Amino acid sequence: MWGRTSIERFQQNIHYSLRSMRRNAGLTCTAVLVMALGIGANSAVFSVVNAVLLKPLGYQHPDRIVSLSSAWKQKGDQGPVSAPDFQDWHDQSDTFATLAYYTDFDVAVQPGPSAEYAHVARVGPEFFAVFGISPPAR
C-alpha cells in the first residue's frame, strides 16, 4: 500500500471523481453550466475591454485628435458644426495642425436586389490627412 506512485493515486482520484459525478448528475450538470456561463461572460467582457481600452487605435497619435461641435444656447445642447462655421474656423485657426470636416447620416442604398439603409459620412479633403492615411482607391 505504501509503494503506490503518484500516477496511481492520480488515476484513483480520477476514477473516484467520475463515480461521484455519475451519482450526482444534477449537481454535475449545474456545476458545468455555471462554469460555462462564467467562462463565457468573462470572455465577452474581456473582448469588449480589449477592443475599447487596451487595443491601440489604427492611426498615429490618437491623443492629438479631437472633435469639435457647436454649442446651441437656446437648447443648451451641442450639435454639428455648420459648413460656414467650419470654414471660418479652418481659415482663422492656428492652434490645430489640420482641421477636417465630416458629416454623417443614414441613406438608402441598393447593393443588390433590395434596398437597405446604410450609415455614411461625407468628408472634406483634409480628413484622411488628420489620421495620417491616404484615401482608398476607387
Q: How far apart are CA 26 and CA 20, in angstroms?
A: 11
Q: How large is the C-alpha radius of gyration of the chain?
A: 30
Mean pLDDT over the full length of the chain: 87
Q: How far apart are CA 9 and CA 128, in angstroms?
A: 66
Q: Count up the domains in the chain and report the number.
A: 2
Q: Are residues 125 and 66 in the same domain?
A: yes
Considering the chain, what percentage of its residues have pLDDT values greater than 90? 33
Range of the domain at 10: 6-54
Q: Are 102 and 90 in contact (CB under 8 A)?
A: no
Q: Are residues 71 and 103 in the same domain?
A: yes
Q: How far apart are CA 39 and CA 34, in angstroms?
A: 9
Cα 129 from chain centroid (whole Å): 24
Residue 23, in any domain of the structure: yes
Q: Are residues 92 and 115 in the same domain?
A: yes
Q: Are residues 66 and 50 in the same domain?
A: no
Query: 32-45: per-residue pLDDT in tens?
Result: 999 999 999 999 99
